[in-house]
Amino acid sequence: MSSVVVARGLVKRFGNLTAVDHIDFNIEQGEVFGFLGPNGAGKSTIIRMIQCVSPVTSGSLKVLNMDVQKQPREIKARLGVAPQDDNLDPDFSVLQNLTSYARYFNMPKDLANQRANELLEFMQLEEKRNTMIDDLSGGMKRRLIVARALINDPDIIILDEPTTGLDPQARHLIWERIRQLKQEGSTVILTTHYMDEAEQLCDRLVIMEHGRFLIEGKPRQMISDIVGDCVMEIVGADDEAEEYLRSTGKQVERSADRLYLYSNECRNIERDFQELYPKSQSIIRSSTMEDVFLRLTGRRLRE
Ligand SMILES: Nc1ncnc2c1ncn2[C@@H]1O[C@H](COP(=O)(O)OP(=O)(O)O)[C@@H](O)[C@H]1O
Ligand SMILES: [Mg+2]
């Protein structure tokens, strides 16, 4: 495998604030790589440095074997970026937003038109071809921003929170398309604060907070390493029942009146527990990325 993005000791400061704090990562050709973290974690700042629109404060960042500080134009030509914020041109129609964007890449007009129409079909926007931007729903705008990111047939596709605020249908269409792009061999870099999205889509991901990585790995492996394969959720446990659960030696957490027990052997534990404490109610479910996140960052509210 070859790395298409390599960061070493990467730092970004805004005045006194260190938004990205000495991070190292490699993103490999053909993978879907995710930056997962709450608002303000530094995800967009990393994306903007990769995109060569925000200068690196210190450390090194290479994209497609080129230094972002030395060859920004060459790098930009080979990236497709869907930024977090809607920056579509409201004076243009849907189709014109794509064709005018194609001009940045010096695409011949015919090719730009053909490509734009293909992409409108790909993102299920062909019926909106001549609609003005202000008349699109939020989901349609997101889809158009993703379509626009693909206009130059990029080597690396960067999607900054592509599904935030979307309804389930729009979200699933974008998920399907990301999977399809990966199957076609594209490298996709994704940021999200949705744990399930990261778990479903990413080959590898980092969980970040305050500009640092808390953990890096493959989603299923991370879940199994950090919290085990299943979670038993218990309500109505008195102190004695809680003490019993803790005595199993498994990770047990309390949040309000609910207990969480993380393990690989939930079934056996639940069977014994139910016999001893029949008044408590419990369910067993598969563990998720959200459990990993809460385990690492705690359940208290931040901000
Ligand atoms: N242009 C900027 N000037 C000052 N602070 C910024 C700027 N851009 C981002 N920040 C700050 O850097 C931190 C990381 O922001 P950001 O990368 O946008 O986080 P995320 O995308 O994970 O929500 C935040 O505290 C944010 O307020
Ligand atoms: Mg962001």
CATH of residue 196: 3.40.50.300
* Statement to judge: residues 247 and 131 lie in one domain: no
* Residue 72 falls inside a structural domain: yes
Interval between CA 47 and ligand 2 midpoint (Å): 9
Domain count across the chain: 2
> Which of 219, 239, 272 is the endpoint of a domain?
219
* Residue 239 falls inside a structural domain: yes
Per-position pLDDT tens, the chain of length 303: 689 999 999 999 999 999 999 999 999 999 999 999 999 999 999 999 999 999 999 999 999 999 999 999 999 999 999 999 999 999 999 999 999 999 999 999 999 999 999 999 999 999 999 999 999 999 999 999 999 999 999 999 999 999 998 999 999 999 999 999 999 999 999 999 999 999 999 999 999 999 999 999 999 999 999 999 999 999 999 999 999 999 999 999 888 889 999 999 999 999 999 999 999 999 999 999 999 988 887 765 555
Interval between CA 43 and ligand 1 midpoint (Å): 8
> Which of 219, 248, 273 is the endpoint of a domain?
219
Per the DSSP assignment, residues forming a β-bridge with 58 are: 11
How much of the chain is helix, strand and coil, in % rounded to 5?
A: 40, 30, 30
Domain limits for position 237: 228-286
- Which ligand sits closest to the CA of 15? 1
* Statement to judge: residues 160 and 74 lie in one domain: yes
* Statement to judge: residues 175 and 274 lie in one domain: no
C-alpha torsion angle, residues 165, 104, 67, 186 (rounded to 10): 60
| DSSP SS3 for 121 | helix
* Statement to judge: residues 28 and 174 lie in one domain: yes
* Statement to judge: residues 19 and 40 lie in one domain: yes
The pLDDT value given to residue 7: 98
* Residue 292 falls inside a structural domain: no
Q: For residue 84, which atom of ligand 1 is closest to its CA?
A: 21
- Rounded to whole angstroms, the Cα distance separating 14 from 191 reads 21
Which residue minimizes the CA distance to atom 2 of ligand 1?
14
CATH at residue 260: 3.30.70
* Statement to judge: residues 16 and 92 lie in one domain: yes
* Residue 98 falls inside a structural domain: yes
Q: For residue 35, which atom of ligand 1 is closest to its CA?
A: 22
Of 157, 163, 205, which is closest to residue 183 (Cα–Cα)?
Answer: 157
Strands 281-286 and 251-255: unpaired
